[in-house]
Amino acid sequence: MKVREKAAPFAVVILIAFTPVPAASARSSCQAKLQIGTAAAPGNGRAALCTDGDPACDSDAAADGVCDFRASLCFDNGGASCNPADVKSANMVPAPGFESLSAAFEALKGDSAPVCTAAADVRVATHGKRKGKAVLKMQSGKATERLTFTCKPAKHAGGSATFATIQQKVFDTTCATPSCHGTAAAAGGLNLAAGSSYGNLVGVTAANPAAGAAGVLRIAPGDPDRSFLLQKLLGQLGTGEGSRMPLVGTPVSPANLDLIRRWIAAGAPQTAPF
């Protein structure tokens, strides 16, 4: 009897062809982050928030209507060092107030292992009782990063001073004299006598030819650093902008200068307390 042999089992080999996935378009993951003083900005490092006068972030620690950030730009790639070529290819979009930081960034590009720029000054003014903001833009190829600096107004105790306080403490005793800015003299066309001073200051272009040509106001509400009166009292003057005031007698005290700065930063109100 012939026995039929069973066929030997056979293996089936299935070949699966994997089609390579196209690589994502080359894009640097090197990112800029903010560092204020010696501390990294919180969160993702893209925003720096400071309250005017806070010594932790306002370098002059003065509640003067301006946050003086000491800022550095630091670069990393997900926690690792960036490729120097990626840092060199990045650019900072020019904007007022970031000149010092831009110079520090250009210097960093020369480092063989760039990490953080030197600290540079970035000044952000408040707008009276409203916060001020400045946005720095960084470009790497077609990608744009935005780094934001925000300055919150200081909270002053009391808030009982008014423009009349300044009139009494500063103008009446120091400026509105018969030989200077009183009604009879009004040097430079500026009468600082009671009843006239406010209208002659707030929103009025400086009579000084150099300052006036630049559009500088005697008092620019919300902006102490662009108010010619305060610049004259501080002696922070440019070419052709005259001499520090007062010409005779003692300079205005730091406390009264702070009073004027706070008034301007609060929007230079005529009767409201600040």
> How does pLDDT run across 55-112, given as a tens digit for each residue?
889 988 777 788 999 999 999 988 889 999 999 999 999 999 999 999 999 999 999 9
Residue 188 lies inside a defined structural domain of this protein = yes
117 and 216, same domain (yes or no): no
Q: Is it the case that residue 13 has pLDDT exceeding 60?
A: no
Give the Cα separation of 236 and 65 in Å (integer). 17
Residue 184 lies inside a defined structural domain of this protein = yes
50 and 142, same domain (yes or no): yes
125 and 36, same domain (yes or no): yes
> How does pLDDT run across 238-253, given as a tens digit for each residue?
899 988 888 877 888 9
Show the 3-state SS of 110-171: CCCCCCECCCEEEEEECECCECEEEEEEEEECCEEEEEEEEEECCCCCCCCCCHHHHHHHHH
Segments forming the whole domain that contains residue 174? 163-265
Q: Alpha carbon of 232 to those of 53, 175, 238, 251, 264: distances in Å?
A: 23, 12, 10, 11, 14
64 and 143, same domain (yes or no): yes
pTM exceeds 0.75, yes or no: no
> What is the DSSP code (8-state) at residue 109?
T
DSSP letter for each residue of 57-84: T-TT---SSEEEEEEEEEEEBTTBPPPH
Tell me what the pLDDT averaged over the chain comes to: 84
Bridge partners of residue 241, in order along the sequence: none
pLDDT of 218: 95
Structural domain count of the chain: 2
98 and 175, same domain (yes or no): no
> How does pLDDT run across 171-202, given as a tens digit for each residue?
988 886 777 886 767 677 888 888 999 999 99
